[in-house]
Structure 1
Amino acid sequence: MSMEIQSSVANDIDIIYEDEYLVAINKEAGLLVHRSWLDKGEARFAMQLTRDTVGCHVFPVHRLDRPTSGVLLFAKSSAVARTLTETFTAHEVSKQYLAVVRGFIPDKGTIDYALSFQPDAIADKFADWDKPAQEAVTHWQCLAQIELPVAVSKKHDTSRYSLVQLTPETGRKHQLRRHMKHVFHPIIGDTSYGDIRHTRFFRTQYDCMRMLLHAQALALNHPITGEPLLLKAGLDDQWMGILEAFAWVESAKAYLK
């Protein structure tokens, strides 16, 4: 039987799971995981907010991009963090994401496309910047589609969008965002790899100011007890606004908490 806990909001952080070894939050879009020299003006960070809420130091064991929301897992000790890091490295963690992408994507498929190393100017200062492209695999399943009678692009009289579930096998930097761009279905709201015309349309028409990529579920074995652990993160108001506007709530029902 999987271990699951209902979310509760404390100290501006949505705690979705906590025990004596672990704590998981539903990270909001736009929140940095930890302090970065690249964002010196920021005052709020998921790691510090989580630490202040649970009353002990926490250790990140995986990443979520700043504009991505959803399940973010921390360990409460360095020893548990090492174990979890090894679990992620060994691909023993199942991750599911929800995204809204441009265009009508096929019902299901797999993207097997190696990604070049993208170093951070500071975090990867001493890394090998010339390393070869790394294997990257993403599976997708289309959940719903809509065609709007709006010419966002001059090439088409209408605009098409798909709601997709994304399941990465690997964990490369910006993997889902880069893979969706590679197959010509960029994620809506992605200012680095997306289509700015559609991002602007969602901002003006639906007041959606975020990237529509959400880490909906994380499944793994507990590093201490070995029991199956299923962590789920609910969607924010902007996400729900899109699902309601496009009549996608029923299609996404199985993926909502």
Structure 2
Amino acid sequence: MEIQSSIANDIDIIYEDEYLVAINKEEGLLVHRSWLDKGETRFALQLTRDAVGCHVFPVHRLDRPTSGVLLFAKSAAVARSLTETFTERRVTKQYLAVVRGFIPDKGTIDYALSFKPDAITDKFANLDKPAQEAMTHWQRLAQIELPFAVSRKHDTSRYSLVRLIPKTGRKHQLRRHMKHLFHPIVGDTSHGDGRHNRFFRSQYECTRMLLHAQCLALSHPVTGEPLLIQAGLDEQWMNILQAFDWVDSVEDLGH
């Protein structure tokens, strides 16, 4: 069986066959139970399992505030194969983000990232890990200058819509790389700029981090056929694209 998008049990299934299932994870949804929030009752893994009626196995992760394509395997054997595919970097991941400032039209950041533990989830981790190589390509899709003085240094505020293509998969890689470039992702409360986050909340009612896993491309782990999975944007994202006249800049990656 293969499907191409349906809402089941409050989860958006965007691809399913007998081996795999992919969802469009909403922002704020944890992938699985975590010490990060003991009171949380909704998790992507359990919701997906209940929707498809079988156990599912996560093969990669998305940060809680990141939305978009999240892939699960339906068996341990397929999960092992997919994990190897991700580890060997035979997967292409493309994200959309809104960042502060006018970023150059395209480029690559090759900047190793040190291990930064979470106080709860990483409390038993080795804190002496060496910095890991991390590489991200970016392409600017659109930009805008707004007549709002969010920063005291400038009478206007600038933002860019970018496509981000990580070549490695480090924790918070895209968020930390954009911060390192002085173009933090709007809405990022850990690595972003609080003034611009507050501006988007008050001016556009945008309460989320504007980072979305739009596309995942890989070879099917069983059939070997090319597989392209895409996830649509939520209402807050679309509101920003419409307000900034950026809708036409977000092309369909499948064409």
Do structure 1's residue 31 and structure 2's residue 7 form an aligned pair? no
User: Secondary structure at the residue paired with 2:71?
Assistant: strand
Would the aligned equivalents of 2:36 and 2:121 in 1 still touch at CA under 8 Å? Answer: no
Q: Within 2, Cα distance between the matches of 1:114 and 1:179?
A: 9
Q: Within 1, Cα distance between the matches of 2:30 and 2:254?
A: 24
Q: Within 2, Cα distance between the matches of 1:253 and 1:38?
A: 35
Please name the residue that 1:133 is paired with: 131
Q: Within 2, Cα distance between the matches of 1:176 and 1:193?
A: 10
Residue 104 (structure 2) aligned to one of 103, 106, 113: 106
User: Secondary structure at the residue paired with 1:253?
Assistant: coil
Alpha-carbon deviation of 1:25?
0.1
- How many aligned positions are there? 254
User: Secondary structure at the residue paired with 2:21?
Assistant: strand
Please name the residue that 1:231 is paired with: 229
Would the aligned equivalents of 1:234 and 1:256 in 2 still touch at CA under 8 Å? Answer: no
Matches within 5 A, 1:83-94: 83-94=81-92
Change (3 A) 1:122 1:205: closer
Please name the residue that 1:66 is paired with: 64
User: Secondary structure at the residue paired with 1:38?
Assistant: coil
Please name the residue that 1:183 is paired with: 181
Alpha-carbon deviation of 1:131?
1.1
RMSD between aligned residues? 1.5
TM norm structure 2: 0.96
Change (3 A) 1:189 1:112: same
Q: For residues 186-235 of structure 1, what are the alpha-carbon distances to aligned partners after superposition, in whole Å with 9 as ceiling and x for unaligned?
A: 00000000001100110011011100000000000000111100000000
Q: Within 2, Cα distance between the matches of 1:38 and 1:94?
A: 29
Change (3 A) 1:79 1:256: closer
User: Secondary structure at the residue paired with 2:54?
Assistant: coil
Q: Which runs of 5+ in 2 are unaligned?
A: none
Alpha-carbon deviation of 1:126?
4.5
Q: Within 2, Cα distance between the matches of 1:85 and 1:38?
A: 24
Q: Which runs of 5+ in 1 are unaligned?
A: none
Do structure 1's residue 55 and structure 2's residue 73 form an aligned pair? no
Q: Within 2, Cα distance between the matches of 1:100 and 1:120?
A: 25
Percent identity of paired positions between Structure 1 and Structure 2? 82
Please name the residue that 2:160 is paired with: 162
User: Secondary structure at the residue paired with 2:249?
Assistant: coil
Q: Within 1, Cα distance between the matches of 2:55 and 2:121?
A: 21
Residue 215 (structure 2) aligned to one of 214, 217, 224: 217
Please name the residue that 1:197 is paired with: 195
Alpha-carbon deviation of 1:172?
0.1
Alpha-carbon deviation of 1:8?
1.0
Q: What residue identity is the alignment partner of 1:79?
A: A
Please name the residue that 2:169 is paired with: 171
Alpha-carbon deviation of 1:128?
2.4
Alpha-carbon deviation of 1:256?
9.0
* Runs of 4+ residues over 6 Å off in structure 1: none
